[in-house]
Each structure stands twice: as C-alpha cells, then as structure tokens.
A and B are shown apart, each in its own frame.
Chain A
Amino acid sequence: MENSLLLTYLLLIPFIGSIALLFIKAEKENLIRYFGLGISVIAFLLSLVIYFNFDPSNSSFQFVHKFKWIENLNINYFVGIDGMALLLLVLTTFLTPLTLISSWTSINKKVKEFTFFMLFLELGMLGVFVSLDLFLFYFFWEAMLIPMYFIIGIWGGQERIYAAVKFFIYTMAGSLVMLVAIIWLAIHASNYLGKFTTDLVELYSVAPLFDLSIQNYLFIAFALSFAIKVPLFPFHTWLPDAHVQAPTAGSVILAGVLLKMGTYGLLRYNLPLFPAASLHFASFMSTLAVIGIIYGALVAMVQTDMKKLVAYSSVAHLGFVVLGIFAMTQESMQGAIIQMINHGLSTGALFLLVGMLYERTHTREISYYGGIAKLVPVYSFFLLLVSLSSIGLPGLNGFVGEFLILLGSFKSTVLNSWWYTVFATTGVIFAAVYLLWMYKRVVFGKVVNPKLNDLTDLNKREIFVLVPIIIFIVWIGIYPGTFLNVSEKTSDKIIERVFEPPKVELK
C-alpha cells in the first residue's frame, strides 16, 4: 500500500459507507446501527495504521496526496498531516464509534438518517484536518455544518429548530467572511507567486511577506470565523443553545471535535500565514481568552441545567487553548495542542454521562437530583473521575495541558505580562467550584426526590463507551510523552514560522 493514499482512503471510508448505507432498508435499524459502527471502526483502525506509520521526528507534512482539481485556478485536492492534525484525526475516529454506541438506544427514530449524517459528519471533520488546500478546507468546513444542522434540528430537544438555525447562521456568518479572505489571500498572493492558487504550502511561503495592514485584515477575517467556532468570548452564545438542544451524540462530537476546528484553524492558518498580524493581535486574542476562562467558569457555576453547565465550561477550557496558542512558547503551544485532545476526551465524556442520566430521567435539571451516589455508584464513580479530569487534577489529562499552557504563557515574551497567566490561573479555582458543586448537588446528599429511587446504574454498553476514554484520560495524565512527541515538531514549526517568517524576493 502506498503511504500517500492512506489519508484519501480514510476519507473514502465514511464517504462510501454513508452512500452504501442508503441502500439498506430503513426498517432494519439494528443492521444500520451495526453497519455504521463497523464503518467507523474501520476508519478508526485505519487511523491507527496512519498513526503508527507517522514519523514524529519529521516536521513536514506527511502522507501527502495531491492531484489537480480545478486546473485553471490551481486548486488542488491536496491532503497531508502533521503531528497536530494526526492527533485530532485519531481523536475524531476514536470518538465517532463511541458516540454511535452511546446512541444505540437513545436514537430510535430515523436511525438510518442519523447514522448517515454521523458518517457524513465524520467525513467532514476528517477532511478539515487533512486539507492542505484552502479551497478544499473550506469545502469540508462548510460541508460539515450540514449534517450537524440536521442532527440538532431533527434529534434535538424542545427548541431544536431555534438552536440549529442559530448554530448554522452563527458559524455561517463567520465562514463567509473567511471565504472572502481566502479569495483575497489567493489573489494577493498571486502578485508574489505569479499565479492564483489556494495551495497552503505555497501560501505559507508568501503570505508572511504581505504588508502588516493586509495581514491584519486577513487575520481578522480568519480569526473571526475560527473564534466563533472555538467559541471565543464573546462569540460563544450559540454554544449553550446548540449543546442543550443537540442529542448526546451531537454534543459529544460538537464539543469533542468541532470546537477544536477553531483552535486548529488558528494554528494551521492564522499563525503561519500571518505571523506579523498574529504577533500584533496576540495580546488582544489572549485577553479575550482569559476573559473567556473566567467568564465561562463563572457563568457555568450558576447554571441549573447540567448540560448548559458543561457547555459553558467549554468556553473556559477553550480559553486556555487560545491563550496557549497566542503565548507562542514551546510549552504553551504543546499544552494547547494536548489540551485540545484533553477537552475532546473530558468534555466528550461529560456529555456522554449527562446524556446517560438524561436517557433515564428525561431531565437535566440539577435540582431534580441529589443523593444518587447510593443508587448508581458506578455512574457516580465515572462522573467523579471525568469531573476531576476536567478540573485539571494532576495525574489526569487536564492538568498536563493547563499546566503547560500556564507555564508557557507566564514566560511568554509575546504577551510580555504576567497578568494573563495570573488571571487565567484563578480559573482553576472556579473549575473546581462549578464541577464539584454540581457533583455535590447531583450525587451527594440524601435522596429527596422519590422518582429517583428506580434509577438504574450504567449497563455494560455504557461502561464500554466510557472505559476507552478513561484509559486515555489517565494515560495522558501520567505519560503524556506519547502524545507530546507526536506534536512536538508541529509546535516547533509553527513557532518557527511566526518568529522567523520566510523572506523571499518579490517576483
């Protein structure tokens, strides 16, 4: 097998799978479920093959596959990955089968459509992470919105339509600005390259040469789109609605992977393409990030709905990632990348756990619960462990990311102030408050609500979904080297591109 085709195969698996799914009769729900699961497992296995064939000591893009797509405009089908993309790729293929298993019983209407959209979504997500052509990237970026829109709109809660439309328009508004920026970028780059192209690698070599003012505009356009996706304060208000209304699988994918696309975009596009602008805006972006950390935590603290609480906590957690990105030190960059994975695991697991409770009681109101430790000890254990991971307890994954980010941002010469880190660090207090306070109110205390008495503990299928995530939560917490190694060259390369941008003569 030729290495360079692996990524294309990986994209083809969910693509062909979702097409093939259409030929199965809708009544055969179980067959559909197993089929979808099978496809996503194959994708996961293939991503492991990619993982083991990846050379972490090589800083250039690997598994590169390229052919002409729109010849006149030099737009190519061009895929390839570095360490960061690889980690997110595996995260995606890892979470997709787990979400499918978790929806086994909770999704019981339109199973065929649901599975179809999930596979389609996986295709879109993988496409975003492997694209090395801006046009191709944009294609996947937008394509991904469609299945998510339907997943929220069809299988969501009471106000699903409002949430789905809000999600769609919010992100779409950002994306359109980015589309304009992509075209502008390519046109402007043609002054240097002598041709119009959306080839990222070629653009890497010329975009940093642009005047600062042009870089600034382009930076803003890209960053706006990514900031909405992250979501960076104050562009976050679509998130609580989307999360609360989305079905569990939607929430898990949304938190686990979709939000990462914003931070991934900042690292893949903003920093290397517009290094001067990135330095120019670093303080501004970091300020928003730090506000998000504290603001998200404070608002999470007072939520009465468990899912909304977790949604707001994402604002805080992703704030850490953005801070790490714009502090631009080795430590903070590595921390940001690993924190992207961490958030995918921890918050993904939190949504799964909230979903499991919801499936039993059909409410997520914190005040409904209390004292369930006695009734569902296994559930309580998992919820505690995942909460602690999210709180950033050393020994679990969250700590590694947060610690590296804070350590790095403290010594950042770009930010050149301790205050960012000082304020961000107080976020760890609030994280403990909102999660453990919720935990206390839901799990501890006496059972007051008689309706809770017939609550059943997790079944084997649910435990099977959680255990793999737990393994990685502990693994990253104790031996993060496995993953830090993979992304090390990527973060070095990004930092290099920012601080030592290419200096090429004008053609």
Chain B
Amino acid sequence: MIDLIYLAVFLPLLGFLINGIFGSKIKNVERSKIPFLGEKIIGLIGSGAIGIAFLIVIGAFFETLSLPADQRTNYVNLFTWMKVGALDVSFAYQVDQLSLIMALVVTGVGFIIHVYSIGYMHGDRSFWRFFAYLNLFIFAMMNLILADNFVLMFLGWEGVGLCSYLLIGFWYDKDFEKSTTSAAGLKAFVVNRIGDVGFLLGMFLIYLFFDSLKFSEVFSRAVSFDVPEHIFTLITLFLFIGAIGKSAQIPLYVWLPDAMAGPTPVSALIHAATMVTAGVYMVARTSVLYAMAPTTMMIVAVIGVFTAFFAATIGLVQNDIKKVLAYSTISQLGYMFLAMGAGAFSAGIFHLMTHAFFKALLFLGAGSIIHAMHEQQDIQHYGGLKKYLPITYGTFLVAAMAISGIPPLSGFFSKDEILWFSYTNLGFVFWLIGVLTAMMTAFYMFRLYFLTFDGKPRFDEKQTHPHESPKMMTVPLIVLAVLSAIGGFIGIPEIFSGAHGNAFHSWLSPIFKSANLKLSYFGAHSHFEEYLLMAISVAGALGGILGAAYIYLKRPSIAVNTVEKFKSIYTTLWNKYYVDEVYDATVINPIVNSSRSFLWKLFDNKIIDGLVNGMARSVGDVSALIRKLQTGIVQSYALVMMIGILLAMFWLILSF
C-alpha cells in the first residue's frame, strides 16, 4: 500500500475534477424515488474519494508498522517537476512515521467532516462547488504532508491557502461582520502570503548552503556540512515566519478569526484540524535544522507560549460561538509551538493529533447548534439547549473536557506532556504561563458550554424550535467524541505505562533522532515533580470549569459586575486588542494611500510622464522654431547662402 500512496493524493484531485466540472450538471439529476439524488451523488463522490484515500493511508500505515524501525522511511517517486542546475525536485512522496500520522489525521478527520458536510450543506445552491473545493483542499494538504522536498511542500502549502481563500469566501455574496466574506478570504490569503515570503527565503538559503531542496539530502547535509550557526538561525527563522502565517501565531494570526466567515465544516477541517497545523508540522519536519539553531528554538517557544496566552485572554470575552473556538485554536496552536520550541517535537505532534479530534468536534458541534438555531451564532441568545440537542450536547461536553485537559481524555495527555517539557527544557515561567492558559481555556470553554447548553433558554422558544441534526451530522460527532475521549491512550506517558514506554513517542522517535541528539536538555527531574505539576494543571483546569459554572450558572451578576469594574480591559479584549485597527492604520492604509497619491498620481503620471511629454514637447517647440526657416522665399534662401559662403571664406582665410 505504500507504493499506492500517490492514489491517496490524487483521488481527492479526481474528486475535485469530477465535481468541479460536472457538479453543476450532477446536481440536477433526479429520480422521484430518491429525493435529492444529485446531492447524494456529489456527496458520495466527494467523501468517497477521501474515504478511499483514508483506507490507503491505513494500509500504508500498517505496512510501515510491519517493517523494522530503521526501514520505515519509504519514497514514492512520480515524475520530475523542476530540474535546473543543482535543483532537482520531483512530485515524490516521503512515507514515514511523521507523514503517516499526519495523513491519517487529515484523511480520517477529513473523511468524517466530508460526511458531516453532506448533511450540513444540504440544500445549498453550490453544494457541488463546496465538495469540489473540499477535495481540492485534501489534495493540497496531502502534498504538503507527504512531499519529499521543500518545493512540493510549498505547492501544498500555497494550495491549502488557496482552498482556504475559496472556502472562506464560499458564500461570496454574504456580508460578514463589518465587511464581506470575500474580504475575509482575501485577508487570509494575503496574510498567508506574507508568511510564504519567509518560507521562500528560507528555501533560498537552504538551497544556497546545501545545494538541494530534498528533505533527505538537506537534513543529512545539515549535520555533516560545516555551516555556521547563525545561518541555521536565519534559515529556521524564515521558515518559522511561514509557519506563523499558516498557523496563525502572533503577529500574523489576524486572518484566522475572520476565516470563520466560511461554512462551519470548513472551519472544522481547515481552520482547526488540519491546515492551520501545517506550520507545526513544518517545524517538526525540519526539526534537524531547528535543533541546530537554539536561538530560533527559544523564539519559537516564546511566540508559542505568548500566543497561547494572548489568544486565550481574547477568548474569555467573545460571544460568537465560532469566534471563541477560533481564538481557542490560535491558543492551542501556541501550545504546539511551545512544544516545538521546547524540543518536544513528538509531544507537539501528539497535541496536534488530539487537537484535531476535539477541535473538529467542537466546530462540528457548533455547526449543529448554529443549524438548530437558524444561523444564530451569538451565545447570548442560546441557553438550555441540552434538552433540544442531546447528541450535540453530549459530544460537545466530551470535547470541552478534552480541551480543558480533564484526565483521562485525550487533551489531558497531550497538553500535560507539553507543559512538562516546557518545565524541564525551558523553565518555570513557560510552564506557569502554560498552566494559566490552561485555566483560561477551561474557563472560556465551559463559559461557552454553560451559556449554550445549561441554564434557561435566552431565545424565544415560541419562534425558534431547535431540533437535533440528522444522522449524517450526529454520527460524525459521535465518532469524533470517541476519538477525543480515548485518542490520548496511544501516548500515555512513561510514568503511567511503565516499561512499555510511550508508544506514540517510540513510533516517532526515528524522525526526531538527529534533532534530539543535537539538543541536550536532560536535567534530572523526579517523578514527584512530574506528578505534582500534573496535579496542579488538572486542579487549574477544574478550577477554571468550576469558576465558569459558578459565574455563569449561579451568579451571572459577577460577570456583569466584573465587566463594569474593568470596563477598559473588557473593551480592549472585546476589540481583540485593536490589532486589526493598528495594522490598518500603520501598514495597510499608508501603503495603499501612498501608492495611489504618491507613486501613481504624482510620480508616474506627473514626474516620469511629465518628463517624457516635456521632452517631446520641447522637441516639438524647437522644430517649430526651425520650421520658420523654411519660409519658401527664394530670396531669403539666397541671402542665407551668401552669408554662409562669406563665413566659409573668412574661415578659410583665417585658417591660413
């Protein structure tokens, strides 16, 4: 099955082509016995392509598992893409432990979300277009993950950005907040492109120093070539700029909250579970380079932990259900980067995986709620939905507990591991900020949960009759809930599992071996410390939940009073620290305005063209003068001739 991995990449492309080209025709297929036959065929093609891809990836996974640990990296070469000078990149796929984990998550969660979308997008005018884009996204994402070189990874990287752009603006004629969905899409694409410049420059540096852009060659040369550390710092910093853009970290996170303009399954798949984690994956993939650049590692950790904290503070006060989840995603991605910066690469990937489960579940749950509430997204207008949406409620609760880090749900294992490594490898401060963030996470998630499902309904029950979503949507919720609950068990830390060790780590360890060899953190830490810190973080999470329960169920007045008391802090948070406004005022408007008034209207039109036209005019003026000599009067010509002859004679005489 490893050899067939290209099918897992290209089947989604096929699905895209079929639905993209024929979708508008298939849509209208009808049989009286089967309602909405067209939609069903489109949905079947779309999710079928991903389903088969998922099966192939599973097959490849087990085949790899059956190989000895040192033979688990395999290559599938398709054809040469660009071959110039030392550059030789192909459409070639690297099937190894890391790419397989990612591929499993992408096709697995992707498949679930495709199925969910059949229900969610039912009746949409552009049902077919939605599935076409979604399949194209999986195609791009698989290229990003499986590429055996930087350039193909970049193809996937920009490809997912394109799909994100298309899907954020999927309802292109809709308004979104103060602007439109298409403006949100444009913002996402452009901000990502800023990051991509970093990615490109990183690639150029790598090519300059290592003469290749193939992973295997670059990584082995990184260890063997004598390249100064500051070059590694530069390379990894540039690559990290790319990661910051794609994974929505400070200062390039601004596009992700706006990306919520897209349909909710898109938010689940692209803006929570898969695409936004690409930056984390890229750092993990290039871990060797990062290990050679301790300065960058520290920067990654600082940006990660700061983003985690910062986004969580904004999440505390948002009222739009998807906005809360969006800031939560930014915050959780910050955790993953914290792990990367701490050198705990497999812990970061572990959290990436569990996060994919519970965050996809949270978004899909939100989608189910939004459907039931007739597109209402403000949690102020929810309340008491428990009884109306039992399955959504149950699964949402599992996800909320998982993200809050309640043992033994998946989020507990992965988050705790990151906290532990940030303590041992980076220091107490990182751990502390991490724990505070975890508390806030638990608080805002359960604020969301209680305001939505508990308490009394704050909507008009006579007008709105929320009802549970169809099976097509609830079954995916249940599957994800199971994964969120038990998904952590494959990464049980050593102190619990004892001699078996951490299965997830030992699976990934060959990938990070050379990076880990470079990093040497091993301070001595007792088991007692580990238990203690674990207990503190769990207590923190429980505290957050209880706090939310107390404030939003028992004493809603506290929330109101706090807001009144700290009005300025609240408005700052509510307005997301005014970052968008600052960017507009300091970057975007100056560039646009000066381009218009200075470069175009003044420099181009007045100065350059003025010079050109001025020159043309002066030529014209001079010739107008000269033209006057051509009077057509023979006498005056004769006169001039005479003067000329006299002058010539004078000159001849004088020169003797």
Contacts and interface: CB of A to CB of B under 8 A. Distances in A.
B626 interface: no
B84 interface: yes
A76 B159 CA distance: 52
Given A394-B155, A445-B182, A432 B190 contact: yes
A182 interface: no
A324 to B, nearest CB: 11
Interface string A439-452: 01001111100000
Contacts of B180: 444-445
A407 B158 contact: no
A437 B595 CA distance: 15
Interface in A429-485: 429, 432-433, 436-437, 440, 443-447, 478-481, 484
A484 to B, nearest CB: 6
Interface stretch (A203-211, A215-223, A266-274, A328-336): A328-336
Contacts of A426: 197
A444 B182 contact: yes
B190 A436 contact: yes
A170 B193 CA distance: 36
B436 to A, nearest CB: 35
A169 B613 CA distance: 11
A404 B203 CA distance: 12
A299 B186 contact: no
Contacts of A224: none
Contact of B201 (A394, A425, A436, A480): A425
Nearest to B191: A429
A404 B155 contact: no
B81 A478 contact: yes
A321 to B, nearest CB: 16
Contacts of A411: 204, 207-208
A479 B81 contact: yes
Interface in B565-620: 591-592, 595-596, 599-600, 604, 608-609, 612, 616
A408 B87 CA distance: 10
A17 interface: no
Contact of B81 (A406, A437, A445, A480): A480
A237 interface: yes
Nearest to B207: A407
Contacts of A238: 612
Given A373-B172, A426-B197, A479-B79, A394 B204 contact: no
Given A302-B596, A410-B204, A329 B85 contact: yes
Contacts of A480: 81-82
B278 to A, nearest CB: 14
B653 to A, nearest CB: 35
A484 B201 CA distance: 23
Contacts of A429: 190, 193-194, 197
B633 to A, nearest CB: 32
Interface string B417-439: 00000000000000000000000
Contacts of A394: 151, 154-155, 157-159
A407 B194 CA distance: 18
A484 B83 contact: yes
Range for the number of chain B residues in contact with chain A: 35 or more
B200 A428 contact: yes
A237 B608 contact: yes
B76 interface: no
A425 B85 contact: no
Contacts of A404: 82, 84, 87
B80 interface: yes
A301 B595 contact: yes
A494 to B, nearest CB: 14
A331 B159 contact: no
Nearest to A426: B197
Given A169-B616, A395-B159, A407 B193 contact: no
A120 B183 CA distance: 46
A153 to B, nearest CB: 17
Contact of B595 (A237, A299, A425, A444): A299
Interface in B196-245: 196-197, 200-201, 203-205, 207-208
Contacts of A303: 600
Contacts of A406: 200, 204
A234 B608 contact: yes
A227 B504 CA distance: 60
A205 to B, nearest CB: 27
A149 interface: no
A414 interface: no
Contacts of A161: none
A437 B189 CA distance: 11
A110 interface: no
B398 interface: no
B173 interface: yes
Contacts of A393: 158-159, 162
A394 B162 CA distance: 10
A299 B604 contact: yes
B238 to A, nearest CB: 10
A257 B193 CA distance: 30
A166 B616 CA distance: 9
A481 B180 CA distance: 41
A462 to B, nearest CB: 18
A295 B598 CA distance: 11
Contact of A484 (B82, B173, B604): B82
Contacts of B604: 237, 299
Contacts of A408: 84-85
B343 interface: no
B315 interface: no
Contacts of A410: 201, 204-205, 207-208
A432 B194 CA distance: 10
A54 B498 CA distance: 69
A374 interface: yes
Nearest to A410: B204
B197 A437 contact: no
A302 B158 contact: no
B488 interface: no
A388 interface: yes
B193 A428 contact: yes
Contacts of B612: 166, 170, 237-238
Contacts of B155: 394-395, 399
Given A330-B85, A484-B82, A302 B595 contact: yes
Given A411-B207, A444-B180, A481 B83 contact: yes
B51 interface: no
A169 B609 CA distance: 13
Nearest to B194: A429
B169 interface: yes
B173 A446 contact: yes
A200 interface: no
A50 to B, nearest CB: 24
A298 interface: yes
Nearest to B162: A393
A230 B205 CA distance: 30
A156 interface: no
B638 to A, nearest CB: 34
Contacts of B190: 429, 432-433, 436
B204 A400 contact: no
A331 B87 contact: yes
25 contacts: A237-B608, A237-B612, A298-B595, A298-B599, A302-B592, A302-B596, A373-B172, A374-B173, A393-B158, A394-B158, A399-B155, A403-B82, A403-B151, A406-B200, A410-B201, A410-B207, A411-B204, A421-B201, A422-B201, A426-B197, A429-B197, A433-B190, A444-B173, A447-B173, A478-B91
Given A238-B612, A425-B200, A432-B189, 19 more contacts: A237-B612, A295-B599, A298-B599, A299-B604, A302-B599, A330-B84, A331-B84, A388-B162, A403-B151, A410-B204, A410-B208, A411-B207, A425-B197, A433-B190, A437-B186, A440-B186, A444-B172, A444-B182, A479-B79
6 interchain residue pairs of minimum CB distance: A444-B182, A394-B155, A410-B204, A302-B596, A330-B85, A298-B595
